[in-house]
């Protein structure tokens, strides 16, 4: 579904003569918040090193979120953006080519807006900078509906242990139920290559059999090296180990994964503003479903 986004004549003319740049949204999901954050940050930094502009929309809360991982104190969130009506006010520079937007309360914040406000919010970005080429949506495990579910391209972060397969499958099933028909890539985080491929095969067959999902293997991130400080280990994971004494093996893998993402077919082309409209529609549907469930509970209580 390609979303319509009429605003006014000036906006239409600006878009008509603007450069036609590709935009991709990627949802990063998985049962482990810290692993999700590491993969999200690593992909964002790898895309930035390639010369792309990535915006990370971070739905997870500290300490296991992208902001904490990158050492960024996010004083303003998407909720503050909604109140101020200016998206740029809550954007935090994270690295070369990478920006961060904290959105722990994103669904509730967008659901309170009307459609024109959301489109104006996204369009006003152009008054400050060019729209990003990539939107990476870092989900918060166990927190209910997630904006990451709206992405047509999804990366599932599978912990490198057989005991976590059921959790990862549940995450995949929940997102598929909310928004089916999306492309899935799987990253095994914290395993050697052979073990990672075996875990992916088990998950792929289960998802194909019971959900009809066709997933692809994006790669394996090796286990963290023992005996080094967690901060240095995280720096290795996200590709910043060059000055931290790390081997950089995970950072190299992140670069390869980002290269694969760039090479994937775009599918349905949505612009930056149009994608905000999609997220808003999802938030409104989620809010309406919650209200209906609450009414049903009250009604059943009265009738009982």
Distance CA 81, CA 84 (A): 5
**Which option is the CATH number for 20-303: 3.40.50.300, 3.40.720.10, 3.40.190.10, 3.40.50.11720?**
3.40.50.300
Lowest-confidence segment of 131-140, 219-228, 231-240, 284-293 by average pLDDT:
231-240
Closest among 210, 202, 125 to 159, alpha carbons compared = 202
Closest among 285, 280, 40, 272 to 141, alpha carbons compared = 40
Distance CA 129, CA 132 (A): 9
Query: For the whole model, what pTM was predicted?
Result: 0.85
Query: Could you report how far apart the first and last alpha carbons of the chain are, in Å?
Result: 42
- Name the band, by pLDDT with cuts 50, 70 and 90, for residue 86: confident
- Name the band, by pLDDT with cuts 50, 70 and 90, for residue 270: confident
User: Mean of the pLDDT values across residues 107-118?
Assistant: 87
Number of residues that make up the chain:
304
* Residue 189: φ, ψ to 5°: -105, 115
Looking up tokens 């740049």 gives: 21
**Angle CA 45–251–234, to nearest 5:** 85
pLDDT: which is higher, 300 or 276: 276
- Using DSSP's 3-state secondary structure scheme, residue 219 falls into strand
Other CB atoms within 10 Å distance of the CB of residue 204: 17
Other CB atoms within 10 Å distance of the CB of residue 207: 21
pLDDT: which is higher, 193 or 123: 193
* Residue 136: φ, ψ to 5°: -105, 115
Distance CA 254, CA 197 (A): 17
Beta-strand (E) ranges in the chain? Answer: 24-29, 54-58, 92-95, 98-102, 134-138, 153-159, 183-189, 215-221
Retrieve residue 154's tokens. Answer: 């999804």
- What residues does each domain of the chain span? 20-303
Let me know: does 169 contact 206? Beta carbons within 8 Å: yes
The Cα-based distances of 235 to 32, 98, 104, 195, 259 in angstroms read 18, 16, 23, 23, 20
pLDDT in tens, 40-78: 999 999 999 999 999 999 999 999 999 999 999 888 888
Beta-strand (E) ranges in 73-152? Answer: 92-95, 98-102, 134-138
* Residue 250: φ, ψ to 5°: -70, -40
Distance CA 21, CA 231 (A): 36
């Amino acid at each position: 579904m390609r979303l319509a986004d009429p605003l006014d004549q000036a906006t239409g003319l600006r878009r008509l003569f603007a450069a036609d740049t590709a935009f991709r949204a990627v949802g990063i999901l998985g049962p482990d918040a810290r692993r999700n954050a590491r993969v999200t940050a690593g992909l964002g930094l790898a895309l930035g090193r390639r010369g792309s502009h990535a915006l990370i929309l971070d739905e997870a809360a500290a300490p296991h979120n992208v902001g904490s991982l990158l050492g960024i104190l996010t004083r303003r969130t998407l909720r503050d953006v909604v109140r101020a009506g200016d998206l740029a006010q809550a954007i935090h520079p994270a690295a070369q080519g990478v920006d961060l937007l904290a959105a722990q309360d994103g669904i509730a914040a967008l659901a309170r807006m009307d459609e024109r406000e959301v489109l104006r919010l996204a369009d006003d970005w152009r008054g400050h900078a060019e729209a990003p080429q990539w939107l990476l949506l870092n989900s918060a495990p166990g927190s209910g509906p997630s904006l990451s579910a709206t992405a047509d391209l999804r990366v599932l972060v599978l912990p490198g242990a057989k005991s976590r397969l059921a959790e990862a499958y549940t995450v995949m099933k929940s997102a598929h139920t909310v928004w089916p028909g999306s492309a899935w890539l799987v990253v095994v985080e914290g395993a050697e290559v052979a073990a990672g491929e075996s875990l992916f095969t088990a998950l792929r067959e289960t998802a194909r059999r019971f959900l009809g999902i066709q997933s692809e293997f994006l790669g394996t991130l090796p286990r963290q090296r023992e005996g080094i400080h967690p901060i240095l280990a995280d720096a290795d994971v996200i590709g910043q180990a060059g000055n931290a004494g790390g081997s950089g093996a995970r950072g190299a893998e992140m670069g390869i994964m980002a290269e694969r993402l760039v090479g994937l077919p775009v599918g349905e082309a949505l612009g930056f503003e149009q994608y905000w409209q999609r997220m808003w529609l999802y938030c409104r549907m989620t809010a309406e479903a919650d209200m209906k469930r609450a009414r049903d509970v009250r009604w059943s209580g009265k009738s009982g």
